Structure 1
Amino acid sequence: MTRRPIFNRRRFLGTAALGGAALASPAYLRRAYAQSGGEVNIWTYNNFVPEDFQKQFQDETGIKVNVRLVDDQGKQFNLLAAEQPNPTVDIMTVAGHRFLQFVDSDLLAPLDTDRLTNWGNINPTFSESDWATVRGNKWGAPILSGMEVLSYNTDYVSAEEAQTWDTLFSEQYSGQTAYIIQDMMSIVMLMMGYDGNMVEYLDDPDTAARIVEEAKQFLIEKKPLVRKYYDSGAEVQQMFVNQDIVLGHSWNGPAAALITDGFPLGMAIPQEGSYGFVYTFNIANNAPNMDNAYTFIDAVLASPEIGAAMTRASGFISTYKDASQHLNDLERKATSFPDEQLANLQFFRAEANELKYGLVDPAVEAIKAA
């Protein structure tokens, strides 16, 4: 296959930065929030707080926003648990399917939606779905949704090849692939015909352990083929841009950001299936700046333009009503999938998380050490 001229990494990084500022002109808050001062500390993923929104929020309210980037739910859980009962964080970003782990450990405060005047701006598909309510309480404000996809450089990998996860583990692309091991464990179980959520095995821990062991051995066997196990969306973006890899498992958000910048990338939900998830803004139990945390979350829910800015910056799909109306055609294309592929999608569930991650986390460490 003829090699395409190497994508200009400097150009990409520059235009990606500009992409975050593309919606700088709207007055997001429309001067609705009184000056209160102080600060709010947020742990979140890269680009989940648009820079221009952050600046407007700080100017409008006098509240300083301190953002600490995270790249892994497990690391965030461990850090928060270590800080209790006096956390340094006010708002964190928890995926809906990880709620129970945080709730059971008393790390989150129930969300008082009566304090959020803009709660109604969230699509009820997300705000009122069954996963969003745990033990009668809301625990987070849904902001972005996403899924695990097979991303591929369209100059080297065909759309047909991307219809199966088998391509990711093929000798043909040895040394040119990357994935997040923990996420791939669920997908490999699904490939094998098992329930990657492990809900089916709640009453049968021996079967659950056998299935995880089977998935672990598969990934150990395929370890010589992978170029790198990675952790963050920015990392996989850089590997694609530098042409270190030509395909890999990724979240759809980082992949969509490359697509909208013009990089030759495609995404697919393979025929074996995959999993979707929803990110939420959550308030820490004993948050040091509780009032400011509610002010920030209410502000970030204020308009569909903010949802569109978050989609544009992160590549994930906004949960806000009418946010897509503020995206251009290419941006909408990068955040949508054919119906036949969406039919392959399941959502992560939390009921069996204690069982699942009690088995999966040690398996991940074993794969790394193998």
Structure 2
Amino acid sequence: MKKIFCFALAIMMLSAFAACSNSSDGPAANGGNEVFADGDQYDQIGGELNILNWGEYIDPELITLFEEETGVKVNYVEMTSNEEMLIKLKSSDCVYDMCFPSEYIIEQLIASDLLLPLDMDKIPNVKNIMQDKLEITDSFDPGNKYSLPYMWGTVGILYNTTMVEEPVTSWGILWDEKYAGQIWMYDSVRDSIGITLKYLGYDLNTRNADEIAQARELLIAQKPLRKGFGTDNMRPSIVNGKAAMAVLYSGDAFVCMDENEDLAYAVPEEGSNVWFDNVVIPKSAKNIEAAHAFINFLNDGAIAARNTEYIYYSTPNQAAMDRLDEYFTGSETYNPPKEVLDRCTVFHDLGDFVSVYNEAWNAIKMK
């Protein structure tokens, strides 16, 4: 769901990996040099592992390390949307062994009987995943039977504190006329309509046509104030001071804040979306053993820490969090407090009612 705009992030420690990868003595004395948190070693599995994931959503050096440890050749294919992934997984000639869909798509995949139940005995590092995150993902995958959280975050407002003087506490600021021409909205039907529904006091998963109509009219009325609807193009715009605010995913906001110290991020008091990208194994997977091994690998504490430091999205892995420095753990953008999460909701599959959202979205974009 969440697509990364990386400005040059993590420091590569290949020499440390080379030195440690053959050790069976557990963690290195220096936590920064450890390869596996528990001295995990992987059997030579071989074969190929076909992965479908978002672009720039994993540290590529970790793929290399996994290949070296297991003898598996990883074929990494990037997708641009959940809908694209859904089409590929429903295809009769689907070739993927694992993928990383968002919550509402996982509900569709489960309903369509397209996923393989995970064998948790083959994923001992599941113990590292935070229980509170599993409780949230249980809402779209009961019992976390088919998926495990990979990355997560929120949707909020990234704003320039030199251009926005008042505290950003409400979505209503996106309709403030004094910021006309300085407001970016996210080019996504669920995100833009969802935050408008929250501003109006409604559920972002509503199936009430009248509530959708109210959100539609409010977004149409916003047009003179908008700089536009955007995705990747919003981020350099706000980093370079060309816009006052933008609706963004928390991970992208965190990267932007790293580039410009005048930027701040807020999740408005009306509430927002908390999203999850989970890892799943399609029923059509050919290398099921390698898929489970890779999921276990990603959930190793040291590996998960390396990964989140590279992509800047929030990890659900407590063993990784224990290895991160204050720059990550102390940031409410990266690590939002419970009171923020308590007012956030995951997106659920809308079924046939999604057509009502799409019709509203088409009307908004045509105005």
TM-score by length of 2: 0.83
Structure 2 residue 145 is matched with structure 1 residue 148: no
CA distance, structure 2, for counterparts of residue 78 and residue 225 of structure 1: 36
Structure 2 residue 37 is matched with structure 1 residue 40: no
Shift >6 Å, 4+ stretches: none
Q: Which residue of 1 aligns with 2:126?
A: 119
Residue 279 to residue 89, structure 1, CA distance change in 2 (3 Å): same
Structure 2 residue 202 is matched with structure 1 residue 194: yes
Structure 1 residues 234-243 or 161-170, which shifts more? 234-243
Q: Which residue of 2 aligns with 1:336?
A: 335
CA distance, structure 1, for counterparts of residue 84 and residue 179 of structure 2: 31
Mark the runs of 5 or more structure 2 residues left unpaired by the alignment: 18-32
Equivalent pair of 2:107/2:140 in contact (CA under 8 Å): no
Structure 2 residue 5 is matched with structure 1 residue 19: no
Structure 2 residue 357 is matched with structure 1 residue 323: no
Equivalent pair of 1:46/1:314 in contact (CA under 8 Å): no
Equivalent pair of 2:59/2:307 in contact (CA under 8 Å): yes
For residues 238-257 of structure 1, what are the structure 2 equivalents within 5 Å? 238-257=236-255
Structure 2 residue 107 is matched with structure 1 residue 108: no
Structure 1 residues 286-295 or 19-28, which shifts more? 19-28
Q: Secondary structure at the match of 1:167?
A: helix
CA distance, structure 2, for counterparts of residue 20 and residue 38 of structure 1: 30
Structure 2 residue 77 is matched with structure 1 residue 80: no
CA distance, structure 2, for counterparts of residue 134 and residue 246 of structure 1: 38
Equivalent pair of 1:132/1:139 in contact (CA under 8 Å): no
CA distance, structure 1, for counterparts of residue 161 and residue 57 of structure 2: 27
Instruction: Report deviation, 1:55.
Output: 1.8
Q: Secondary structure at the match of 1:250?
A: strand
Mark the runs of 5 or more structure 1 residues left unpaired by the alignment: 1-11, 202-207
Instruction: Report deviation, 1:147.
Output: 0.8
Structure 2 residue 174 is matched with structure 1 residue 168: yes
Q: Secondary structure at the match of 1:317?
A: coil
Q: Which residue of 1 aligns with 2:295?
A: 297
Instruction: Report deviation, 1:100.
Output: 1.4
Equivalent pair of 1:151/1:248 in contact (CA under 8 Å): yes
Q: Deviations 1:93-122 (Å, cap 9, x if unpaired)?
A: 122243211222233222222221222121
Q: Which residue of 2 aligns with 1:9?
A: none
Aligned length: 341
CA distance, structure 2, for counterparts of residue 175 and residue 22 of structure 1: 44
Equivalent pair of 1:31/1:60 in contact (CA under 8 Å): no
Alpha-carbon RMSD: 2.7
Q: Which residue of 2 aligns with 1:8?
A: none
Equivalent pair of 2:156/2:248 in contact (CA under 8 Å): yes
Q: Secondary structure at the match of 2:168?
A: helix
Structure 2 residue 75 is matched with structure 1 residue 66: yes
For residues 339-350 of structure 1, what are the structure 2 equivalents within 5 Å? 341-343=340-342, 345-350=343-348
Q: Secondary structure at the match of 1:65?
A: strand
Equivalent pair of 1:171/1:225 in contact (CA under 8 Å): yes
Q: Deviations 1:333-361 (Å, cap 9, x if unpaired)?
A: 33134665445x222153x6215523223
Aligned-residue identity in percent = 26
Instruction: Report deviation, 1:292.
Output: 1.9
Residue 274 to residue 136, structure 1, CA distance change in 2 (3 Å): closer
Q: Partner amino acid for 1:267?
A: Y
Q: Secondary structure at the match of 1:326?
A: coil
CA distance, structure 1, for counterparts of residue 251 and residue 363 of structure 2: 28
Q: Which residue of 2 aligns with 1:307?
A: 304
Residue 262 to residue 137, structure 1, CA distance change in 2 (3 Å): closer
Q: Partner amino acid for 1:17?
A: A
Q: Secondary structure at the match of 2:318?
A: coil
Equivalent pair of 1:97/1:131 in contact (CA under 8 Å): no
